[in-house]
Structure 1
């Protein structure tokens, strides 16, 4: 339970939750006109999730069959597209480092990774080819780089 009297929430990760009560929030949004440029976030994860919302564009799933319309496989938000990759294409929500650790300890077999979609598609942002698992692991970083380039330091401080 959170020891802050006006909060009192029960949290799984109390240490992470306590960061949200800090006056200083060091993780800032890269977009100067955004309220979170000044307000900031206590945790990097929250800043990343927020920054992805600034991406201006859409995501077309090149792993889906082309028999449907492009609209059927187009997503306006990165988080929804990532969820689609998990639910439709069998992506594992385990980081590569954690997957290696699970394989090394025998909790997960290396062959479990190959259960998902094995087709290869190109990232429309950077033109690099990926299998679906690799693409899932790549996408957040690629979108963040795109947003950061769009709102470069020169533009942020103008």
Structure 2
């Protein structure tokens, strides 16, 4: 059975993010190769990956080369750094699906780039990126930025295990 994974904020080709977020890489090339290796170590060819934005700062040719090396069926939810390029541009780089808006997944999870407003009375969980090493408190938010997950996509099953009380699973 194919798995489902989520991740965000790779910032491929963004050399300055190494310093901004204290990433443990010598340069952008090492960062790229490590993140590709870690993606493919957990994601199989038949798995599905939701990338929650800010994928690449590189040109179309270099971005396409990276996407083609990544396992799985890839859906991109556009992040603030992705929105300067059209949906068509991202589809041409190899993403199978591209959304300009958040996606409701499993009737219970809101997948978005930026965290969405969620109050404590809402029975939903917002899986998001954008805030990198920061983290919102509570069970209504789940940050899948690469900095929190050792630059590796997170299995949806793991997210559910962490946010849904065990008697509800």
Above 0.5 in TM-score? no
Structure 2 length normalisation: TM-score? 0.25
Q: Which structure: greater strand fraction?
A: 2
Q: Which structure: greater helix fraction?
A: 1
Select the structure with the greater relative contact order (CA < 8 A; seq sep ≥ 6): 2
